[in-house]
Amino acid sequence: MTTPLPPKTVLQDRYRIVELIGLGGMGAVYLTEDLHLREKRFALKEISYSAHADPQVQSQLREQFHREAIALANLDHPNLPKVFDYFSQDGRDYLVMNYIEGPNLKELLDQARKRGQLLAESQVLEWADQICAALIYLHAHSPPIIHRDVKPANVKLASSNVIKLVDFGLVKFFDLGDPSTITLVRGVGTPTYAPMEQYGAGTGRTDARSDIYSLGATLYHLLTGRAPADAQQRFLEPESLPGPRSLNPRISALTEYLVLKAMTIRPDDRYQTIQEMRKDLTMARNLSLGRRTQDRLALIWSSLVPHKWLSLGVLALFLLALLMTIAQPEPIF
């Protein structure tokens, strides 16, 4: 694992590290201050490489990083962070992007679980729609950009209920001249949310359907409160993945269907595009909103039951007064 840089370290004579935000096997994320812009704060994504890696491989990876950084800097979407700068220093590569304040969805799920609750299906599906919008935008590029690490901890809830899909540490371009994208040394994503094709000790092959699997696994976790079994375990033990409705009976059958379809082991059996998945998500969300309205009406009615005759009497008087008002002739001036 990479040794994190200490606070107050200054990179490029510009970015001063405030604190470590996250740490992983391939690098770290820091909160930094920009000394050139009145100490404006950014998130600094660090990508490091093994000191024992072949120099030629390291050179190829660094070239790949620069190509990806240029593409990321050109991205502009409300559900993605904005990349402002990139550079290399001391054998590490860095992306500078806007710092997204607010909790990630894993934190929101953990908070709900501590209260003995699950996240509302309608809320999860609203977030999912925004994630889909970000992925549609990424996949529409030429060549398509594959995120490869969609998971609850990489989805942040910013102000005004706006979702931001963060962490581009595993982003990959899809080569249209080759039916699949070959991953070299960047890693395979988080096993719980990664499809089988991202495994393979550097031989994993991915395309846009890999993000579909990861989104399905993310929704499974958010809706049930339980992280799904990883793809390798599921391949060996298909029964290791309980149906979402067995863990949360309030989930609609349509939502369960689309989550499981997105998480199919074989890519050809999944949704083939995020657009297809988003269409079913929209249907499931509308059903969920309708059911939530029915639940609220039922709750209001149940609260009036002890006084139902009084409530009905008040309602009858209101309707009578309304009818009399409508029936009165308008004055003639």
Please answer whether residues 280 and 128 qualify as being in contact, where contact means their C-beta atoms are separated by less than 8 angstroms: no
Structure tokens at 124: 């999860």
Cross-strand pairs, 96? 44, 85
Which residue of the set 34, 76, 149, 230 is catalytic?
Answer: 149
CB neighbour class for 14 (10 Å; exposed up to 12, middle 13-18, buried from 19): middle
Query: At 33, is the secondary structure helix, strand, or coil?
Result: strand
Instruction: Report the alpha-carbon distance of residue 78 to residue 96 in Å, rounded.
Output: 17
Distance set, CA 183 to CA 11, 51, 204, 317 (Å): 29, 19, 6, 72
CB atoms within 10 A of CB 273: 15
The upper half-sphere exposure of residue 146, i.e. CA atoms within 13 Å in the direction of its Cβ, equals 26
Specify whether 85 is catalytic. Answer: no
Active site residue ranges:
149
